Structure 1
Amino acid sequence: MADLEVIDWSAENEQQFWNGESGALNEILSGPCTTYEALDNALRSWLHLVAQGRDQYLSSEDDIASCSQKLLDSAIFNANKDYVRTQIIYSLLQEDEYGPLHGIANFLLLDGRTEESTFRCMVCEGCFSRLLDLIKGCGECDHRLHRLLLELMYEMSRIERLRPEDLMQVDDGFVTYLFQLIEALSDDVNDPYHYPVIRVLLVLNEQYMVASTSVAVDPTSPSSPMTNRVVKVLSVHGPSFRTFGENIILLLNRETETSLQLLILKLLYLLFTTSATYEYFYTNDLRVLLDVIIRNLLDLPGEMNVLRHTYLRVLAPLLAHTQLGQPPHYKRDQILSLLDILRGSGNAHFMPPEPTTLRLVERVAKIAWLLDNDRFEETPSPVLFGSLSLSQSASGVSLIAQVSEKPGIMTPSLKSDLAQESRDRREHEGGHGVGKQAKSLRPHRSLPEVPGHSHGIPMTQSPNVTRVHIHGSGQKKLPPKLPPPRRRTKLKTPNAGESLDTNETLPASGSTTAS
């Protein structure tokens, strides 16, 4: 496609570029393409126009994405999907100019998120090594393209398993370069924590874990386990790259996507089970991490067993191997309460936890300083869960390496679900008593407080006067009781010898006797 003639499509301004059906972009994509040569020419014209616009007026990534979306929605793509994808992938492997590369990478990222076969084809064609070279080469020259290439590498690597020869292209220098980017100040106000770089390191760690578990079962794997470069660099130069550790804890604290939580937990598991990285994190960061784990475990619904198991597998070495095992022991009572809740102790309203959860809970509960906190007057020796070497064995990480979730799946929140149920119940109940609810919305005004003095002279009160409170303040004297009403009946005829007293008077006011 790179050798074909390109029609000189151009747009002097943004209006000419878009401008509805008559815009240059739409004219390119709406033209007839009856042959592969015509299709290649249209693709090159589209790429040339996008590259030109990127350097002039397509200042945001959303603008570039709109160009890619127009190609995805066009007739020439929908009639020749496989061919167009193949040609653009080949362009990624051959193109050297940053403008066209930006359009190519954006299209592949957008298409791959909806069609995973695009990423599969990219891996098979060797695009990982190409992305590796481009990321190392354009970091100082084009920050927009650099960020986009990192996102493309992340999305491709978390969907498709990389080939052993691809991972072997990653050396210590590249991983160190990524850690150095995180330590440097970010030039993007919208991304102060270098999240695209962090995600690439997380997904590379997962790829190493998966590769280490395949040595015994995959005949195409290398005969010896592959060195995890991410853990190796942190083992040797960890104190120089502690900003990365701080940022992944911040990311875990706010992340709701299950797959990204699992990526973070997998790396934490290796760091807490590798002796060289036991104390990689600052103590305060470990305390924040423990708070996050406790909160997330309490907030997981019952059906989220896979994520719950992963959190528990990380919690055990975190408490046993790091500074948290040294007195004063942080959140010991809260940890014990958490374990009781996960056991289902005293909870008759829910089904008992399944066996794996109970087994992992008991593993945490057997940590020495959780069993008896008073016995440790000096620094305790941590319970050993097995220190993993830099070349991780398949048996040590196989369980946690196999855990996965589809991208885009959000972790449900037990607290949010209960709050929503409560709101739904209130709305349902409120629908049957609209009048009562409307009445309760009327503002309620309290009566003024009765003063305790009159013009500076304290008011005294007779001890036999009964007082009542009005709205919690002020007092009022009870009025006297009224006499019962007189009954109006027919006059009784007096008996013989009995006279009727016509001088009978009403009872005196305040009398409590009735006639």
Structure 2
Amino acid sequence: MAFEVSYNLENEQQFWDELNDIVSTDCHEDGLIDNALRAFLNVTTTYIADYLQTEYSLAKCVHQFTHGELFTAHSEYVRRQMMYCLLQDDEPPVLLMTAAFLLYDGRNNGHDLTFEMMQTEGVFARLVELIRAPNVRQETRLHQMLLELMYESSRIQRLRVEDLLAVDDSFILYLLDIIEGVSDDPDDPYHYNVIRVLLVLNEQYLVISTTQQASGRAGITNRVIKALSAHGLTYKTFGCNLILLLNRESETSLQLLILKALYLLFGNPSTAEYFYTNDLHVLIDVILRNLIDLPADSPGANALRHTYLRVLHPLLANSQISKPPHYKRDDILRLLHLLVTNGNHFAPVDETTERLVARCTSVPWLQPPSAASNKTTKSNGKAPPIPPPRAGSRGSQKDVARRALGMSVNAGGESLTSVLEVAAHTEKPGVQTPSLLNPKQNAPKETSSDS
């Protein structure tokens, strides 16, 4: 983009004054609006290293812009022009300003207007292109902003198949490489943004694939699961931090994103043992704590409870947890028993919870030591401590795994029901998971080892 005006501002106050003059411009023609937008990008990109170094200052700049006359009077036109700038310009400062505008504007207007317009204008494919561009990767701040924009714009709407076709195997491996190369702290903003992008892409694949499978069409390949199936030993850090994030996360929507990834990973024979054993112990502790912690009378709690139970079954059946020594067998049985009995803080049990608990208790290593034990218990007239087990679903798990990779299968009824319901469970961004306990209490100890 060519700029016609140059600035020579001597201090920060002059910068904010000049910015205020620009965003307060009263324009009545498209040409005048374009000139004002050029002036805005000119002054901000010229002094970005001086006065817009922090996230706060960048957010303040966008806030001032979106509350000025220039934007409020012509918001749709301005949004579209800023998107075109992101689509066409290659200068990092300009990309940073336009990405920041789209991100903060999208968040502030309830997500719908800006992010839906981005999809209409084909911005997703451009984000994929920019995120993997070498010159953008060198600009860490810009790279993080683009990752965050991809995450926020993708988690509130269903992407089109043509959007996801812009993602190839090399892009997923590139993101996994970033996670292996940065710090081990999942709270690192860079690390966190990359993980969230992978999670939201996995969800998009899951939603599209299950929708297509339900309608009899061939599913799209889930490239996240495919990459971990082929290269899981190389990319262990991603798995470790999924569990750490689930342990810490209080936002329901992100918990669901993590659970959807775990559901597919444990249901896939190629990735069922992807995680370190010690991390699986932490995951068991997290699931037990969160299941007991969900209140029965909270809206949406059942959906989250069902999703945890759907993850628990393949975790117990397919991962290293299924091998001796069996971790917390008695605690797991007690929790499952509690979920299907009245009393404590749970309301009358719904049929889905009963069915999912029965599926979990069907795992062989949770059964009594011998069939004779069951007969003895029944002959004594005593109720078993857990619901009667149902037949296992190893075949169904294979169907789920194949479907995750986009293969055409004839899914079994229960498997298809489960995967569709897991895919359908969502929550609005920002909603916190209700808790009966102090979230700072009883948090499982986080460990990671080569077990």
Alpha carbons of structure 1 residues 263 and 392: separation in structure 2 relative to 1, 3 Å: farther
Shift in Å at residue 309 of structure 1?
0.2
Match of residue 354 from structure 2: 358
Q: What is the CA–CA distance in structure 2 between the aligned matches of 1:275 and 1:231, rounded to whole Å?
A: 11
Quick check: 1:17–1:24 contact (8 Å CA) kept in 2?
A: yes
Q: What is the CA–CA distance in structure 2 between the aligned matches of 1:306 and 1:11, rounded to whole Å?
A: 55
Amino acid in structure 1 at the alignment position of 2:335: L
Quick check: 2:218–2:407 contact (8 Å CA) kept in 1?
A: no
Q: TM-score, normalised by structure 2?
A: 0.84
1:101 corresponds, among 95, 102, 105, to 95
Question: What pairs with 1:172-191 in structure 2 (closer than 5 Å)?
Answer: 172-186=169-183, 191=188
Match of residue 329 from structure 1: 326
Match of residue 195 from structure 2: 198
Deviation track 1:328-358 (CA, whole Å, cap 9, x = no partner) reads 110111101101110125x277532111111
Match of residue 85 from structure 2: 91
Question: What pairs with 1:460-499 in structure 2 (closer than 5 Å)?
Answer: none
SS of 1:240 mapped into structure 2: coil
Q: What is the CA–CA distance in structure 1 between the aligned matches of 2:161 and 2:335, rounded to whole Å?
A: 41
1:167 corresponds, among 161, 164, 188, to 164
Quick check: 2:295–2:345 contact (8 Å CA) kept in 1?
A: no
Match of residue 34 from structure 1: 28
Q: What is the CA–CA distance in structure 2 between the aligned matches of 1:57 and 1:71, rounded to whole Å?
A: 15
Q: Give 5+ residue unaligned stretches, structure 2.
A: 372-391, 442-451
Match of residue 204 from structure 2: 207
2:150 corresponds, among 138, 150, 153, to 153
Quick check: 2:186–2:241 contact (8 Å CA) kept in 1?
A: no
Are residue 134 (structure 1) and residue 145 (structure 2) matched? no
Q: What is the CA–CA distance in structure 1 between the aligned matches of 2:289 and 2:187, rounded to whole Å?
A: 27
Amino acid in structure 1 at the alignment position of 2:397: G
Quick check: 1:54–1:99 contact (8 Å CA) kept in 2?
A: yes
Amino acid in structure 1 at the alignment position of 2:254: L
Quick check: 1:320–1:383 contact (8 Å CA) kept in 2?
A: no
Q: What is the CA–CA distance in structure 2 between the aligned matches of 1:334 and 1:80, rounded to whole Å?
A: 60
Q: Which moved more, 1:251-260 or 1:396-405?
A: 396-405
Quick check: 2:249–2:255 contact (8 Å CA) kept in 1?
A: yes
Q: Which moved more, 1:261-270 or 1:396-405?
A: 396-405
Q: What is the CA–CA distance in structure 2 between the aligned matches of 1:337 and 1:75, rounded to whole Å?
A: 62
Match of residue 224 from structure 2: 230
1:14 corresponds, among 12, 15, 19, to 12
Are residue 271 (structure 1) and residue 271 (structure 2) matched? no
SS of 2:348 mapped into structure 1: coil
Question: What pairs with 1:427-442 in structure 2 (closer than 5 Å)?
Answer: none
Amino acid in structure 2 at the alignment position of 1:123: Q
Q: What is the CA–CA distance in structure 1 between the aligned matches of 2:186 and 2:307, rounded to whole Å?
A: 33
Q: What is the CA–CA distance in structure 1 between the aligned matches of 2:186 and 2:362, rounded to whole Å?
A: 45
Shift in Å at residue 217 of structure 1?
6.3
Question: What pairs with 1:408-427 in structure 2 (closer than 5 Å)?
Answer: 408-416=430-438
Match of residue 311 from structure 1: 308
Shift in Å at residue 401 of structure 1?
0.8
SS of 1:133 mapped into structure 2: helix
1:121 corresponds, among 117, 121, 126, to 117
Alpha carbons of structure 1 residues 7 and 314: separation in structure 2 relative to 1, 3 Å: same
Q: What is the CA–CA distance in structure 1 between the aligned matches of 2:265 and 2:184, rounded to whole Å?
A: 29
Match of residue 481 from structure 1: none
Q: What is the CA–CA distance in structure 1 between the aligned matches of 2:345 and 2:129, rounded to whole Å?
A: 57
Deviation track 1:174-216 (CA, whole Å, cap 9, x = no partner) reads 1000000000134999717701000000000001011102225
Q: What is the CA–CA distance in structure 1 between the aligned matches of 2:327 and 2:433, rounded to whole Å?
A: 27
Are residue 368 (structure 1) and residue 349 (structure 2) matched? no
Larger-Rg structure:
1
Amino acid in structure 2 at the alignment position of 1:360: L
SS of 1:117 mapped into structure 2: helix
Q: TM-score, normalised by structure 1?
A: 0.74
Alpha carbons of structure 1 residues 56 and 374: separation in structure 2 relative to 1, 3 Å: farther
Q: What is the CA–CA distance in structure 2 between the aligned matches of 1:339 and 1:208, rounded to whole Å?
A: 31
Amino acid in structure 2 at the alignment position of 1:119: F
The count of corresponding residues between Structure 1 and Structure 2 is 402
Q: What is the CA–CA distance in structure 1 between the aligned matches of 2:186 and 2:355, rounded to whole Å?
A: 45
2:254 corresponds, among 225, 247, 260, to 260
Deviation track 1:315-334 (CA, whole Å, cap 9, x = no partner) reads 00100100001111101111
Alpha carbons of structure 1 residues 245 and 217: separation in structure 2 relative to 1, 3 Å: closer
Shift in Å at residue 14 of structure 1?
2.0
Deviation track 1:202-260 (CA, whole Å, cap 9, x = no partner) reads 000001011102225679xxx52111100001000001000000011010000000000
Deviation track 1:121-150 (CA, whole Å, cap 9, x = no partner) reads 101111011111110114532000000000
SS of 1:159 mapped into structure 2: coil
Alpha carbons of structure 1 residues 371 and 235: separation in structure 2 relative to 1, 3 Å: same
Shift in Å at residue 414 of structure 1?
1.4
Quick check: 1:215–1:225 contact (8 Å CA) kept in 2?
A: yes
Alpha carbons of structure 1 residues 415 and 187: separation in structure 2 relative to 1, 3 Å: closer
Quick check: 2:25–2:69 contact (8 Å CA) kept in 1?
A: no
Deviation track 1:460-482 (CA, whole Å, cap 9, x = no partner) reads xxxxxxxxxxxxxxxxxxxxxxx
Quick check: 1:342–1:353 contact (8 Å CA) kept in 2?
A: yes
Are residue 52 (structure 1) and residue 46 (structure 2) matched? yes
Shift in Å at residue 373 of structure 1?
4.8
Amino acid in structure 2 at the alignment position of 1:135: I
Q: CA RMSD in A?
A: 2.3
Q: What is the CA–CA distance in structure 2 between the aligned matches of 1:113 and 1:412, rounded to whole Å?
A: 23
The structure whose residues are more often helix, as a share, is 2
Match of residue 343 from structure 1: 340
Q: What is the CA–CA distance in structure 2 between the aligned matches of 1:369 and 1:132, rounded to whole Å?
A: 44
Match of residue 425 from structure 2: 403
